[in-house]
Amino acid sequence: MGRVTVPGEGGALEGGPGQVPAEELRAAVATMMAAHWREGGHTVPNGTVYPWQWLWDSCFHALIWAELGDGDRAVAELANFLAVQDELGFVPHMTYHGDPSARADFWGRPGTSSITQPPVYGHAVAELVRRGIAVPDEVVERAVDGLRFLFDHRARTPNGLVTVVHPWETGCDDSPRWDGWCPGGYERARFRAVKGELLTTVVRAEGGAPLANPAFAVASAGFNALVAWNALELVGLTGDDGLRASADELTQVLDGYWDADLMTWIDDGPHDSGRVRTADALLATLVRPRPEAFAALADPAGLGGPFGAAGTDRREPPYDPDAYWRGPVWPQLTYLLQRAAAAAGDPVAEALADGLRAGAAASGLAEYWHPDTAVAGGAVPQSWTGLALLV
Protein backbone atom coordinates (compact mmCIF):
# COMPACT_ATOMS: atom_id res chain seq x y z
CA MET A 1 0.00 0.00 0.00
CA GLY A 2 1.46 3.34 -1.04
CA ARG A 3 1.89 6.15 1.37
CA VAL A 4 1.07 9.61 0.10
CA THR A 5 0.95 13.26 1.00
CA VAL A 6 -1.54 15.80 -0.19
CA PRO A 7 0.37 18.97 -1.13
CA GLY A 8 -0.04 21.68 1.45
CA GLU A 9 -1.28 19.23 4.01
CA GLY A 10 1.96 17.90 5.34
CA GLY A 11 0.31 14.70 6.50
CA ALA A 12 0.24 11.22 5.01
CA LEU A 13 -2.68 8.94 4.36
CA GLU A 14 -2.39 5.25 4.65
CA GLY A 15 -4.93 2.51 4.45
CA GLY A 16 -6.22 -0.57 2.72
CA PRO A 17 -9.77 -1.33 1.73
CA GLY A 18 -12.08 -0.65 4.63
CA GLN A 19 -9.52 0.92 6.90
CA VAL A 20 -8.97 4.48 5.75
CA PRO A 21 -8.92 6.96 8.63
CA ALA A 22 -12.01 9.08 8.03
CA GLU A 23 -10.77 12.23 9.73
CA GLU A 24 -7.48 12.28 7.83
CA LEU A 25 -9.24 11.77 4.53
CA ARG A 26 -11.66 14.60 5.30
CA ALA A 27 -8.83 16.94 6.28
CA ALA A 28 -6.88 16.14 3.12
CA VAL A 29 -9.95 16.76 0.93
CA ALA A 30 -10.72 20.05 2.71
CA THR A 31 -7.14 21.25 2.21
CA MET A 32 -7.18 20.31 -1.48
CA MET A 33 -10.55 21.93 -2.13
CA ALA A 34 -9.48 25.16 -0.43
CA ALA A 35 -6.32 25.23 -2.57
CA HIS A 36 -8.33 24.59 -5.76
CA TRP A 37 -11.04 27.21 -5.05
CA ARG A 38 -10.90 30.27 -7.30
CA GLU A 39 -12.31 33.72 -6.58
CA GLY A 40 -15.44 34.29 -8.58
CA GLY A 41 -16.81 30.98 -7.52
CA HIS A 42 -15.50 27.73 -8.89
CA THR A 43 -13.03 24.96 -8.14
CA VAL A 44 -10.40 23.85 -10.64
CA PRO A 45 -9.99 20.07 -11.03
CA ASN A 46 -6.23 20.55 -10.63
CA GLY A 47 -4.23 23.79 -10.51
CA THR A 48 -1.78 22.96 -13.28
CA VAL A 49 -3.21 20.18 -15.42
CA TYR A 50 -6.83 21.44 -15.41
CA PRO A 51 -6.84 25.17 -14.55
CA TRP A 52 -10.38 25.95 -15.86
CA GLN A 53 -13.94 25.07 -14.94
CA TRP A 54 -15.39 21.78 -16.25
CA LEU A 55 -19.12 21.05 -16.17
CA TRP A 56 -19.37 17.60 -14.61
CA ASP A 57 -16.36 18.15 -12.36
CA SER A 58 -18.13 21.19 -10.93
CA CYS A 59 -21.24 19.12 -10.22
CA PHE A 60 -19.07 16.77 -8.17
CA HIS A 61 -17.31 19.71 -6.52
CA ALA A 62 -20.69 21.11 -5.44
CA LEU A 63 -21.43 17.80 -3.70
CA ILE A 64 -18.05 17.85 -1.98
CA TRP A 65 -18.48 21.46 -0.79
CA ALA A 66 -21.90 20.49 0.55
CA GLU A 67 -20.35 17.58 2.43
CA LEU A 68 -17.69 19.93 3.83
CA GLY A 69 -20.49 22.18 5.11
CA ASP A 70 -19.98 25.07 2.67
CA GLY A 71 -23.38 25.52 1.01
CA ASP A 72 -22.41 28.91 -0.47
CA ARG A 73 -19.53 27.46 -2.45
CA ALA A 74 -21.64 24.45 -3.43
CA VAL A 75 -24.28 26.72 -4.97
CA ALA A 76 -21.74 29.12 -6.54
CA GLU A 77 -20.04 26.22 -8.27
CA LEU A 78 -23.29 25.26 -10.05
CA ALA A 79 -24.52 28.81 -10.68
CA ASN A 80 -21.22 29.67 -12.30
CA PHE A 81 -21.20 27.17 -15.16
CA LEU A 82 -24.96 27.37 -15.63
CA ALA A 83 -24.59 31.14 -16.11
CA VAL A 84 -23.07 30.57 -19.57
CA GLN A 85 -26.06 28.47 -20.73
CA ASP A 86 -27.43 29.64 -24.09
CA GLU A 87 -31.01 30.40 -25.18
CA LEU A 88 -31.67 26.78 -26.21
CA GLY A 89 -30.52 25.46 -22.85
CA PHE A 90 -27.12 24.19 -24.04
CA VAL A 91 -24.48 24.25 -21.27
CA PRO A 92 -20.82 24.39 -22.44
CA HIS A 93 -18.52 21.85 -20.80
CA MET A 94 -15.67 24.29 -20.12
CA THR A 95 -15.57 27.91 -18.98
CA TYR A 96 -12.33 29.87 -19.27
CA HIS A 97 -12.77 32.21 -16.30
CA GLY A 98 -10.47 35.21 -16.41
CA ASP A 99 -9.11 34.49 -19.89
CA PRO A 100 -11.88 34.32 -22.50
CA SER A 101 -9.30 34.23 -25.29
CA ALA A 102 -7.87 30.91 -24.08
CA ARG A 103 -8.50 28.22 -26.73
CA ALA A 104 -11.00 30.55 -28.44
CA ASP A 105 -9.63 29.60 -31.87
CA PHE A 106 -9.95 25.92 -31.07
CA TRP A 107 -13.60 26.17 -29.99
CA GLY A 108 -14.58 28.89 -32.42
CA ARG A 109 -15.92 31.10 -29.65
CA PRO A 110 -14.51 33.06 -26.71
CA GLY A 111 -15.03 32.19 -23.05
CA THR A 112 -16.37 28.65 -23.27
CA SER A 113 -16.13 25.38 -25.15
CA SER A 114 -18.75 24.51 -27.76
CA ILE A 115 -19.81 21.01 -26.62
CA THR A 116 -21.40 19.75 -23.38
CA GLN A 117 -20.73 17.04 -20.75
CA PRO A 118 -22.92 14.67 -18.66
CA PRO A 119 -25.71 16.70 -17.01
CA VAL A 120 -24.85 15.71 -13.45
CA TYR A 121 -26.28 19.08 -12.34
CA GLY A 122 -29.66 17.34 -11.90
CA HIS A 123 -28.25 15.13 -9.18
CA ALA A 124 -26.16 17.93 -7.67
CA VAL A 125 -29.13 20.29 -7.35
CA ALA A 126 -31.33 17.55 -5.86
CA GLU A 127 -28.64 16.44 -3.43
CA LEU A 128 -27.97 20.00 -2.22
CA VAL A 129 -31.69 20.48 -1.56
CA ARG A 130 -31.87 17.11 0.25
CA ARG A 131 -29.06 18.38 2.45
CA GLY A 132 -31.05 21.48 3.35
CA ILE A 133 -29.04 23.92 1.21
CA ALA A 134 -31.10 26.74 -0.36
CA VAL A 135 -30.66 26.47 -4.14
CA PRO A 136 -31.91 29.58 -5.99
CA ASP A 137 -34.86 29.03 -8.33
CA GLU A 138 -32.79 30.28 -11.23
CA VAL A 139 -30.27 27.47 -10.75
CA VAL A 140 -33.04 24.85 -10.65
CA GLU A 141 -34.65 26.33 -13.77
CA ARG A 142 -31.37 26.39 -15.65
CA ALA A 143 -30.74 22.75 -14.70
CA VAL A 144 -34.17 21.80 -16.06
CA ASP A 145 -33.49 23.79 -19.25
CA GLY A 146 -30.16 22.00 -19.66
CA LEU A 147 -31.91 18.61 -19.57
CA ARG A 148 -34.66 19.84 -21.88
CA PHE A 149 -32.01 20.90 -24.41
CA LEU A 150 -30.74 17.32 -24.51
CA PHE A 151 -34.24 15.82 -24.77
CA ASP A 152 -35.69 18.30 -27.27
CA HIS A 153 -32.87 19.62 -29.43
CA ARG A 154 -30.14 16.99 -29.45
CA ALA A 155 -30.25 14.51 -32.36
CA ARG A 156 -31.54 11.01 -31.57
CA THR A 157 -30.71 7.64 -33.05
CA PRO A 158 -33.53 5.99 -35.06
CA ASN A 159 -34.48 4.03 -31.93
CA GLY A 160 -34.70 7.16 -29.82
CA LEU A 161 -31.47 7.32 -27.81
CA VAL A 162 -29.87 10.74 -27.35
CA THR A 163 -26.62 11.12 -29.27
CA VAL A 164 -23.42 12.81 -28.19
CA VAL A 165 -21.59 14.95 -30.73
CA HIS A 166 -18.10 14.14 -29.49
CA PRO A 167 -16.27 11.64 -27.21
CA TRP A 168 -15.50 14.50 -24.80
CA GLU A 169 -19.23 14.97 -24.20
CA THR A 170 -19.36 11.64 -22.39
CA GLY A 171 -16.58 12.68 -19.99
CA CYS A 172 -14.92 9.34 -20.84
CA ASP A 173 -12.55 10.84 -23.37
CA ASP A 174 -10.44 7.86 -24.51
CA SER A 175 -12.80 5.00 -23.69
CA PRO A 176 -12.27 1.82 -25.76
CA ARG A 177 -15.89 2.36 -26.82
CA TRP A 178 -14.64 4.99 -29.29
CA ASP A 179 -11.89 2.82 -30.80
CA GLY A 180 -13.92 2.30 -33.95
CA TRP A 181 -13.26 5.96 -34.73
CA CYS A 182 -9.48 5.56 -34.50
CA PRO A 183 -8.30 4.05 -37.80
CA GLY A 184 -5.51 1.53 -37.32
CA GLY A 185 -6.43 0.99 -33.67
CA TYR A 186 -6.27 3.20 -30.62
CA GLU A 187 -3.14 5.18 -29.94
CA ARG A 188 -3.32 8.21 -27.67
CA ALA A 189 -1.72 10.83 -29.90
CA ARG A 190 -3.52 9.61 -33.00
CA PHE A 191 -6.85 9.66 -31.19
CA ARG A 192 -6.14 13.22 -30.02
CA ALA A 193 -5.94 14.24 -33.67
CA VAL A 194 -9.19 12.36 -34.40
CA LYS A 195 -10.91 14.23 -31.56
CA GLY A 196 -9.75 17.54 -32.99
CA GLU A 197 -11.13 16.56 -36.41
CA LEU A 198 -14.47 15.46 -34.93
CA LEU A 199 -15.13 19.01 -33.74
CA THR A 200 -15.22 20.22 -37.32
CA THR A 201 -18.26 18.12 -38.28
CA VAL A 202 -20.56 19.18 -35.41
CA VAL A 203 -23.87 20.52 -36.70
CA ARG A 204 -24.93 23.60 -34.75
CA ALA A 205 -28.00 25.73 -34.12
CA GLU A 206 -27.84 29.35 -35.23
CA GLY A 207 -26.59 30.41 -31.80
CA GLY A 208 -23.90 27.72 -31.82
CA ALA A 209 -25.51 24.99 -29.69
CA PRO A 210 -24.21 21.55 -30.74
CA LEU A 211 -27.09 19.47 -32.17
CA ALA A 212 -25.63 16.50 -34.04
CA ASN A 213 -22.47 15.08 -35.55
CA PRO A 214 -22.84 12.84 -38.61
CA ALA A 215 -19.20 11.74 -38.18
CA PHE A 216 -19.83 10.59 -34.60
CA ALA A 217 -23.43 9.38 -34.63
CA VAL A 218 -23.23 7.49 -31.37
CA ALA A 219 -25.52 7.18 -28.37
CA SER A 220 -23.52 6.12 -25.35
CA ALA A 221 -25.45 3.97 -22.89
CA GLY A 222 -23.77 5.70 -19.97
CA PHE A 223 -24.55 9.19 -21.25
CA ASN A 224 -28.19 8.29 -21.85
CA ALA A 225 -28.46 6.80 -18.38
CA LEU A 226 -27.09 10.01 -16.90
CA VAL A 227 -29.55 12.11 -18.90
CA ALA A 228 -32.50 10.03 -17.66
CA TRP A 229 -31.32 9.79 -14.05
CA ASN A 230 -30.46 13.48 -13.70
CA ALA A 231 -33.86 14.40 -15.12
CA LEU A 232 -35.52 12.14 -12.55
CA GLU A 233 -33.45 13.70 -9.77
CA LEU A 234 -34.88 17.10 -10.77
CA VAL A 235 -38.40 15.68 -11.09
CA GLY A 236 -38.12 14.63 -7.45
CA LEU A 237 -37.83 18.35 -6.66
CA THR A 238 -40.09 19.97 -9.19
CA GLY A 239 -42.73 17.30 -9.88
CA ASP A 240 -42.37 18.20 -13.58
CA ASP A 241 -44.49 15.57 -15.38
CA GLY A 242 -43.12 16.43 -18.80
CA LEU A 243 -39.55 15.87 -17.68
CA ARG A 244 -40.57 12.62 -15.99
CA ALA A 245 -42.20 11.37 -19.19
CA SER A 246 -39.07 12.19 -21.21
CA ALA A 247 -36.85 10.38 -18.72
CA ASP A 248 -39.10 7.31 -18.52
CA GLU A 249 -39.33 7.07 -22.28
CA LEU A 250 -35.56 7.25 -22.64
CA THR A 251 -35.07 4.60 -19.96
CA GLN A 252 -37.40 2.27 -21.83
CA VAL A 253 -35.40 2.69 -25.01
CA LEU A 254 -32.21 2.02 -23.06
CA ASP A 255 -33.70 -1.29 -21.89
CA GLY A 256 -33.32 -2.54 -25.44
CA TYR A 257 -29.54 -2.07 -25.21
CA TRP A 258 -28.95 -4.51 -22.34
CA ASP A 259 -26.84 -7.42 -23.58
CA ALA A 260 -27.42 -10.44 -21.35
CA ASP A 261 -24.40 -12.34 -22.69
CA LEU A 262 -21.93 -9.53 -22.16
CA MET A 263 -23.72 -8.36 -18.99
CA THR A 264 -23.51 -4.74 -20.05
CA TRP A 265 -25.54 -2.10 -21.83
CA ILE A 266 -24.18 -1.47 -25.31
CA ASP A 267 -24.04 1.80 -27.25
CA ASP A 268 -26.04 2.60 -30.36
CA GLY A 269 -23.64 3.50 -33.15
CA PRO A 270 -21.87 2.28 -36.24
CA HIS A 271 -18.92 0.48 -34.61
CA ASP A 272 -18.57 -2.74 -32.59
CA SER A 273 -16.35 -0.94 -30.08
CA GLY A 274 -19.60 0.29 -28.55
CA ARG A 275 -19.91 -3.19 -27.03
CA VAL A 276 -16.67 -3.12 -25.03
CA ARG A 277 -17.51 -3.68 -21.36
CA THR A 278 -16.72 -0.46 -19.49
CA ALA A 279 -17.72 0.87 -16.07
CA ASP A 280 -19.58 3.87 -17.48
CA ALA A 281 -22.04 1.64 -19.37
CA LEU A 282 -23.21 0.26 -16.02
CA LEU A 283 -24.35 3.74 -15.02
CA ALA A 284 -27.63 2.51 -16.47
CA THR A 285 -28.08 0.84 -13.06
CA LEU A 286 -28.99 4.34 -11.82
CA VAL A 287 -32.27 3.99 -13.70
CA ARG A 288 -32.46 0.18 -14.08
CA PRO A 289 -30.86 -1.53 -11.08
CA ARG A 290 -30.18 -4.97 -12.58
CA PRO A 291 -28.66 -7.52 -10.16
CA GLU A 292 -26.60 -9.03 -13.03
CA ALA A 293 -24.99 -5.65 -13.66
CA PHE A 294 -24.07 -5.32 -10.01
CA ALA A 295 -22.64 -8.85 -10.18
CA ALA A 296 -20.45 -7.74 -13.11
CA LEU A 297 -19.23 -4.85 -10.95
CA ALA A 298 -18.37 -7.20 -8.12
CA ASP A 299 -16.51 -9.74 -10.29
CA PRO A 300 -12.75 -9.52 -9.60
CA ALA A 301 -12.03 -11.00 -13.05
CA GLY A 302 -14.10 -8.25 -14.66
CA LEU A 303 -14.75 -4.76 -13.30
CA GLY A 304 -14.47 -5.51 -9.57
CA GLY A 305 -11.42 -4.90 -7.43
CA PRO A 306 -10.11 -3.64 -4.11
CA PHE A 307 -10.00 0.06 -5.11
CA GLY A 308 -13.30 0.67 -6.88
CA ALA A 309 -14.63 -0.19 -10.34
CA ALA A 310 -12.01 -0.77 -13.05
CA GLY A 311 -12.82 1.52 -15.97
CA THR A 312 -12.63 -1.35 -18.49
CA ASP A 313 -13.37 -5.03 -17.91
CA ARG A 314 -10.10 -6.93 -17.43
CA ARG A 315 -11.12 -9.49 -20.07
CA GLU A 316 -11.42 -6.93 -22.85
CA PRO A 317 -8.42 -6.79 -25.26
CA PRO A 318 -7.98 -3.00 -24.92
CA TYR A 319 -7.82 -3.25 -21.11
CA ASP A 320 -4.76 -1.36 -19.83
CA PRO A 321 -4.73 -0.63 -16.08
CA ASP A 322 -2.21 2.21 -16.42
CA ALA A 323 -3.55 4.10 -19.41
CA TYR A 324 -5.86 7.11 -19.50
CA TRP A 325 -9.47 5.86 -19.79
CA ARG A 326 -8.36 2.32 -20.75
CA GLY A 327 -8.68 0.51 -17.41
CA PRO A 328 -7.93 2.58 -14.29
CA VAL A 329 -10.52 3.30 -11.61
CA TRP A 330 -12.25 6.67 -12.10
CA PRO A 331 -13.50 8.00 -8.75
CA GLN A 332 -16.48 9.91 -10.16
CA LEU A 333 -17.76 6.76 -11.93
CA THR A 334 -17.23 4.68 -8.80
CA TYR A 335 -19.18 7.27 -6.79
CA LEU A 336 -22.13 7.14 -9.21
CA LEU A 337 -22.11 3.33 -9.39
CA GLN A 338 -21.96 3.21 -5.60
CA ARG A 339 -25.06 5.47 -5.45
CA ALA A 340 -26.87 3.13 -7.83
CA ALA A 341 -25.96 0.02 -5.83
CA ALA A 342 -26.81 1.65 -2.50
CA ALA A 343 -30.19 2.82 -3.82
CA ALA A 344 -30.91 -0.75 -4.98
CA GLY A 345 -29.71 -2.28 -1.72
CA ASP A 346 -27.09 -4.35 -3.54
CA PRO A 347 -24.14 -5.46 -1.39
CA VAL A 348 -21.59 -4.29 -3.98
CA ALA A 349 -22.32 -0.80 -2.65
CA GLU A 350 -20.16 -1.47 0.37
CA ALA A 351 -17.23 -2.81 -1.68
CA LEU A 352 -17.40 0.21 -3.99
CA ALA A 353 -17.47 2.62 -1.05
CA ASP A 354 -14.52 0.92 0.67
CA GLY A 355 -12.63 0.77 -2.61
CA LEU A 356 -13.23 4.44 -3.38
CA ARG A 357 -12.01 5.57 0.04
CA ALA A 358 -8.98 3.29 -0.11
CA GLY A 359 -8.04 4.28 -3.65
CA ALA A 360 -8.48 7.99 -2.92
CA ALA A 361 -6.25 7.78 0.14
CA ALA A 362 -3.58 5.50 -1.28
CA SER A 363 -3.28 7.47 -4.54
CA GLY A 364 -3.03 10.87 -2.84
CA LEU A 365 -6.46 11.89 -4.19
CA ALA A 366 -5.40 11.20 -7.76
CA GLU A 367 -7.49 11.82 -10.87
CA TYR A 368 -7.62 8.02 -11.43
CA TRP A 369 -5.64 5.00 -10.26
CA HIS A 370 -4.59 1.40 -11.02
CA PRO A 371 -7.46 -0.92 -10.12
CA ASP A 372 -5.29 -3.47 -8.31
CA THR A 373 -2.59 -1.32 -6.70
CA ALA A 374 -4.10 2.20 -6.47
CA VAL A 375 -0.92 3.63 -8.00
CA ALA A 376 -1.84 7.20 -9.00
CA GLY A 377 -2.54 8.24 -12.57
CA GLY A 378 -3.19 11.65 -14.14
CA ALA A 379 -3.39 14.83 -12.07
CA VAL A 380 -2.64 14.62 -8.34
CA PRO A 381 -4.53 15.79 -6.38
CA GLN A 382 -7.77 16.03 -8.36
CA SER A 383 -10.78 17.75 -6.80
CA TRP A 384 -13.47 15.20 -7.74
CA THR A 385 -11.69 12.50 -5.77
CA GLY A 386 -13.08 14.26 -2.69
CA LEU A 387 -16.24 12.28 -3.55
CA ALA A 388 -14.68 9.59 -1.36
CA LEU A 389 -16.14 11.55 1.58
CA LEU A 390 -19.67 10.98 0.31
CA VAL A 391 -19.85 7.18 0.24
Chain residues binding ligand GLC by CB under 6 A are: 45, 50, 54, 56-57, 171, 173
Tell whether the torsion through CA atoms of 124, 130, 135 and 139 is positive or negative: positive
Write down the least CB distance from residue 241 to ligand GLC, Å. 32
Neighbours of 159 (CB within 10 A): 11
Q: Are strands 264-265 and 258-259 parallel, antiparallel or unpaired?
A: antiparallel
> Helix, strand, coil: what percent of the chain each, to 5?
50, 10, 40
Write down the least CB distance from residue 111 to ligand GLC, Å. 18
Which of 54/65 has CB closer to ligand GLC?
54
Q: d(Cα 46, Cα 36) in Å, to the nearest integer?
A: 7
Q: How far is CA 303 from CA 130, 165, 245, 357, 381, in A?
A: 31, 27, 32, 17, 24
Write down the least CB distance from residue 173 to ligand GLC, Å. 4
Which residues lie below 8 Å from residue 267, measured CB to CB, with a gap of 6+?
177, 218, 219, 220, 221, 257, 274, 275, 281
Q: d(Cα 327, Cα 316) in Å, to the nearest integer?
A: 10
CA 326 remoteness from chain centre: 15
Which of 45/146 has CB closer to ligand GLC?
45
Which of 45/304 has CB closer to ligand GLC?
45
Which of 15/222 has CB closer to ligand GLC?
222
Which of 67/169 has CB closer to ligand GLC?
169
Write down the least CB distance from residue 233 to ligand GLC, Å. 20
For residue 158, cis peptide bond before it (omega within 30 degrees of 0): no
Write down the least CB distance from residue 50 to ligand GLC, Å. 5
Which of 171/386 has CB closer to ligand GLC?
171
Write down the least CB distance from residue 115 to ligand GLC, Å. 12
